[in-house]
Amino acid sequence: MGFVLGLTGSIGMGKSTTAAMFRDEGLAVWDADAAVHSLYARGGAAVSGVARLVPMAVTEAGVDRPALRLALEADPSLFPRLEAIVHPLVADDRDHFLAREDGDIVVLDVPLLYERGIDTECDAVVVASASPETQMARLLARPGLDRAGAELLLSRQMPDRDKRARARWIVPTETLEGARAAVRQIVSEIRGSLGAHNRRDR
């Protein structure tokens, strides 16, 4: 396993776009959201547990995420019980990814990377970030998400300023050009440090 780079950022900060840019640089990226989507799909490993917790949020197609979000908004006490079902399954998927990938740099794209202590599994962390105004505008542009729902989601996440303070790198996502330049610089720095380390070991 190569250098493990953690990628995080609060909702609406451009983390997914940043992850795509790392893929464009040839890096393998594990996507926590995609893992959850698979677990929630028909036949997914989390469906039966969610059905027991919130029956109204499960259909023949799997977990209905908008319905689940409404249930969580109505009863926030469901959050820790849902997390107890989903997080161990997500961790298993992440472990399988790390075991099979052999690139010099691999990326863990995790929204709650710091909140769940997954930064301890990483060699370094990069945070995707934008202004609070840009973040809220992006959130309100999402179908079915109003300001109350956005604020509830944000309340479950570490503030952006705290993530920025803990990260080694920050990718500014106000513009695509700025984000891509930052991603390329990060990859270059990591590969440079790996090359220097390998030369010292010879």
- Angstrom CA distances, 149 to 82, 136, 153, 169, stand at 18, 11, 6, 29
Residue 196's pLDDT is what?
A: 61
Are 83 and 62 within one domain?
yes
The reply, when asked if residue 17 is annotated as ligand binding, is yes
Annotated ligand binding at 1? The verdict is: no
In a domain, 59, yes or no: yes
How far apart are alpha carbons 68 and 39 in whole angstroms? 14
The C-alpha atoms of residue 162 and residue 141 are separated, in whole angstroms, by 25
What domain range is 134 assigned to? 1-27+104-202
Q: Are residues 174 and 77 in the same domain?
A: no
Q: What is the CATH number of the domain that holds 113?
A: 3.40.50.300
Residue ending a domain, choose from 102, 137, 153: 102
| Number of structural domains found in the chain | 2
Check whether 14 is labelled as a binding-site residue.
yes
Confidence at residue 197, expressed as pLDDT on a 0 to 100 scale: 59
Query: Mean pLDDT per 10-residue run, the chain (202 residues)?
Result: 92 95 97 95 96 95 94 92 94 95 95 93 97 94 88 88 97 97 98 72 53
Distance CA 50, CA 163 (A): 30
Examine residue 32 and state whether it is found in any structural domain, yes or no.
no
